[in-house]
Chain A
Amino acid sequence: AQSVAQPEDQVNVAEGNPLTVKCTYSVSGNPYLFWYVQYPNRGLQFLLKYITGDNLVKGSYGFEAEFNKSQTSFHLKKPSALVSDSALYFCAVRDRDNFNKFYFGSGTKLNVKP
C-alpha cells in the first residue's frame, strides 16, 4: 500500500539551532515530493517540492529538503530555526502514474523555543 510516514509527532528545537523534520515514503515509481506548512486554524501552504535532479531542494522561508532515493526519504531541514517556524508540517507524495493521488503524512508539530 502507498504510504507516507512522519515518524515524529513533535520536534522541539531551540531558536538558532538547525532543525530536521523527517519523512519517508512507500510509493511506487518516481513520485513527486512536497512539503507543506500549516499555521493554527489555517490551510496548508506550499514550501517546496522535488521533481528530479539535484537531491537538495530549496524552498520558502529558508527551508530546504534532502531527497534520498535509496532510503525513500525526503527530510525537511533549516540551518537556523526561528520561533516563527513553529507550526505543523506535512510531507506529501504525488504518484506520477496515478496523478490525482496525493498521499500525506500525519504531520509533525515543530516547536521552536526562544
Chain B
Amino acid sequence: DVKVTQSSRYLVKRTGEKVFLECVQDMDHENMFWYRQDPGLGLRLIYFSYDVKMKEKGDIPEGYSVSREKKERFSLILESASTNQTSMYLCASTPQTGGPYEQYFGPGTRLTVT
C-alpha cells in the first residue's frame, strides 16, 4: 500500500515564525500536492510538483513556498506564519502525470498560529 506521511499531526507556532511542513511518500510517485482544508471551503491547492525541483503554483500560493529536492519528499514552507494560515494541511501524491489516478493523502497537519 502507498503510504504518505506528514512530519507532524499537530503544530502550534507563533506569528512571524518560519514553519516547515514535511511530506514523504514511499511509492515513487511523480506528482505531489499540498492543500489546505478549511470548513465549508473544501480543499484548496497551494502548490504541486510533477518532478524533482519542479513546482507550480496552485490556487492560493501567497505566503507559501515549497521545496522538492528528492522525489519522495515535498516540503511546504510558511515564510512568516500568520494567524490566517491556521488550518489543516494535507499532502497528496499520484503515480504519474496524466491518467485516471486517484490521489493518496497523508494524515494531515493541523497548524495553529497564535
Residue numbers of A with Cβ under 8 A of B are 4, 9, 32, 34, 36, 41-46, 49, 51, 90, 92, 94, 99-100, 102, 104-107
- Residue in chain B with minimal CB distance to A101: B45
In Å, the complex CA distance between A42 and B45 comes to 18
Expressed in whole angstroms, the minimum distance between the Cβ of A10 and any Cβ of chain B is 11
In Å, the complex CA distance between A50 and B35 comes to 23
Interface stretch, picked from B11-19, B61-69, B73-81, B105-113, is B105-113
- Residue in chain B with minimal CB distance to A43: B105
In Å, the complex CA distance between A19 and B29 comes to 34
Partner of B100 from the list A43, A49, A92 (CB cut-off 8 Å) is: A49
Top-10 shortest CB links A-B: A43-B105, A106-B42, A104-B43, A51-B100, A44-B105, A104-B42, A99-B98, A46-B102, A32-B100, A43-B107
- Residue in chain B with minimal CB distance to A48: B102
B42:A100 contact, CB within 8 angstroms? no
A41:B110 contact, CB within 8 angstroms? yes
B90:A106 contact, CB within 8 angstroms? no
B105:A107 contact, CB within 8 angstroms? no
Is B31 interfacial (CB-CB < 8 Å)? Answer: yes
Which residues of chain B come closer than 8 Å to A32, judged between CB atoms? Answer: 100
A90:B105 contact, CB within 8 angstroms? no
In Å, the complex CA distance between A78 and B100 comes to 23
Which residues of chain B come closer than 8 Å to A99, judged between CB atoms? Answer: 97-99
Is B48 interfacial (CB-CB < 8 Å)? Answer: yes
Which residues of chain A come closer than 8 Å to B102, judged between CB atoms? Answer: 34, 46, 49
